[in-house]
A and B are shown apart, each in its own frame.
Chain A
């Protein structure tokens, strides 16, 4: 079992550009959540996808959008990148929408905006 896989591992973008990050959930999991982790802080919830729909959203602007595919994999898109979007982006997968069981995280994508 490969666990949660994210790609790419590192990415450098220029301010104003758009970026797409990808996540494949752990086998058997149907729910994907995305988190942003700034340096020295705990992860912050961006949104959750279940059954190909956004089910819950954290306090992030509309520049952040996502998608879930029929095979449960997911993408996070960020438009009009700002310097402040530089962070580690984490994907977590779980079975069902509720997280009151074990959530599995990927190793993250380190995004640097210059």
Chain B
């Protein structure tokens, strides 16, 4: 699987938008971009995924660069419950496993 690069940590103020970046310069044309998050003392939780177009769901938005070499997970209004480690993962269509990197530790300040 292609490699992703994320900042180790980020901070945000409560009720403000958060933009979590992910670089994936070696992405192939068939790789999907997935985001998972892991809250303290819990298993990872699916957030969103996309291929080429920007995606929105109830949890977040995913903005994908035109060349697909980077993407940004957007939390529109951060809450204290959004404090977690966020993982950006590339998956081919035939993938059977999730390959987690170190992720970004998001701290939300009250």
- Name A's B-contacting residues (CB within 8 A): 4, 33, 35, 41-45, 48, 55-56, 58, 90-92, 97-100, 102-108
Residue ID in chain B nearest A104 by CB atoms: B46
- Name B's A-contacting residues (CB within 8 A): 32, 34, 41-46, 49, 85, 87, 91-103
- What's the Cα separation between A92 and B97 when bound, in Å? 10
* Contact in complex: A100, B95 (CB < 8 Å): yes
Q: Taking chain B's interface residues, is the majority helix, strand, or loop, or is none over half, making it mixed? A: loop
A43 and B98 in contact, given A103-B46, A105-B44, A107-B43 (Cβ under 8 angstroms): yes
Q: How many A-B contacts at CB < 8 Å in the complex?
A: 62
> Closest CB-CB distance, A94 to chain B, in whole Å?
9
- What's the Cα separation between A91 and B85 when bound, in Å? 18
- What's the Cα separation between A1 and B101 when bound, in Å? 30
Residue ID in chain B nearest A6 by CB atoms: B43
> Closest CB-CB distance, A27 to chain B, in whole Å?
16
Contacts of A56 in B (CB 8 A): 96-97
Residue ID in chain B nearest A105 by CB atoms: B43
- What's the Cα separation between A35 and B41 when bound, in Å? 15
Seed contacts A42-B100, A91-B43, A103-B46; 6 additional CB < 8 Å A-B pairs: A42-B85, A43-B100, A92-B43, A100-B49, A102-B46, A104-B46
* Contact in complex: A99, B97 (CB < 8 Å): yes
- What's the Cα separation between A48 and B95 when bound, in Å? 11
> Closest CB-CB distance, A112 to chain B, in whole Å?
15
Residue ID in chain A nearest B101 by CB atoms: A42
- What's the Cα separation between A41 and B103 when bound, in Å? 9
> Closest CB-CB distance, B104 to chain A, in whole Å?
11
Choose among A4, A42, A58 the residue that contacts B97 (Cβ–Cβ < 8 A): A58
